[in-house]
Amino acid sequence: MRLSELAKHLQADLIPPPGGAANGDWDIDLKAIEPIATARPGSVTFIASEDFARFLPTTAASAVIVAKPRSEVQGAQLVHKNPYWAFARTAQLFFPPKAEVPGRASEAHIDPSASVDASATIYPFVYISAGAKIGPRVVLYPGVFIGERAVIGEDSVLKANVVVEAEVKLGKRALIHAGTVLGADGFGFAPGADGHAKIPQIGSVIIGDDVEIGALSTVDRGALEDTVVGRGTKMDDHTHLGHGTTTGEHCILCAYGALAGSAHIGNWVVIGGHTGVTNKVKLADRVQVGACSGVTKDLSDPGVYIGFPAQPAADWRRQIARMRRLSTLEDKIKALEEQVAALAAAKEVP
């Protein structure tokens, strides 16, 4: 792709390299996208953080995606207000998805009552149950299980050994990574004198369009109501949504993040790694929860929260600073106690 074509695709402003406008040979055909520190001529790179600004004068990349014009850049500049997003779109051009060949492997089991679009790709050892619907251009990798009356929306890709239980519905362009289970029973038991009685989980799971779920993750079906994952939400590996939870649109759940039953989070919410949200808690739009936190009550205002229990980040930092001073304060108290004891002893001497 030529540099000018990439600028048009990204809707970025294109600045020629120093002196390039005069000789007119700078609009080259880009060959690769590479890290700024090791980029070679013919490649495009980017900078989204000032931590990497030191590489700008020396990078050999032919073009750099930047947020604003930078005088130290020796190559061409693609100026975009969101360089990280522009980098992602550029990477998609250089590394497009694998082209699949439509067809059904003879080793796959497809129930006669299932509806499978002719453009879908069904790999060996896929199992498609009665009444399931597989949309156009869907790709099901080996070992995928599709339960009864489940629906897989068009252009969705399910990697190896994904399990989609009965009645679960996936929207368009879903990407579900290997080993993930959608629609397993929620963890619902009623304790009694003779043990724990299982509560039938009769809800389902509804996955919106453009959702990506990482490997070995679980989204449990609801007890009565559906578990819902909003459009554009991205879940990392080893994440968990309990029964009846809902996420808004464009949320981010990092690895080992978990929502307990009936927790509800708004749009554009970020849940950090190893963070838990307890049952029935609600998070407002654009709440961000830091890693290793525990959310035990509603967070009604947008902002950054951290700690256990999760609290505004500024409050948490002040508490940590106070804790770090405790040892110093303890030493001062001990010294004062020794002084008081010495003064008391001196007064007792006749």
- Output the 3-class SS for 86-130: HHHHHHHHHCCCCCCCCEECCCCEECCCCEECCCCEECCCCEECC
Q: What is the DSSP letter of 54?
A: G
Tokens representing 161? 């050994």
What three-state secondary structure class fits 161?
coil
Q: Which residues pair with 304 in a beta bridge?
A: 288
Output the CA–CA distances (angstroms, integers) from residue 239 to 243, 254, 334, in the order listed.
Answer: 13, 7, 48
| 62 within 8 A of 30, measured Cβ to Cβ | yes
Q: Is the dihedral of CA 189, 190, 191, 197 positive or negative?
A: negative
**Distance between CA atoms of residues 191 and 188, nearest Å:** 10
Catalytic annotation present for 80: no
Q: Which residues pair with 247 in a beta bridge?
A: 265
| 54 within 8 A of 70, measured Cβ to Cβ | no
Tokens representing 218? 């679980």
Q: Percent helix, strand, coil in the chain (nearest 5)?
A: 20, 30, 55
Indicate which residue of 177, 238, 243, 250 is catalytic: 243
DSSP line for 332-349:
HHHHHHHHHHHHHHHHH-
**Distance between CA atoms of residues 285 and 262, nearest Å:** 17
How do beta strands 287-289 and 270-271 pair? parallel
Residues that are catalytic: 243
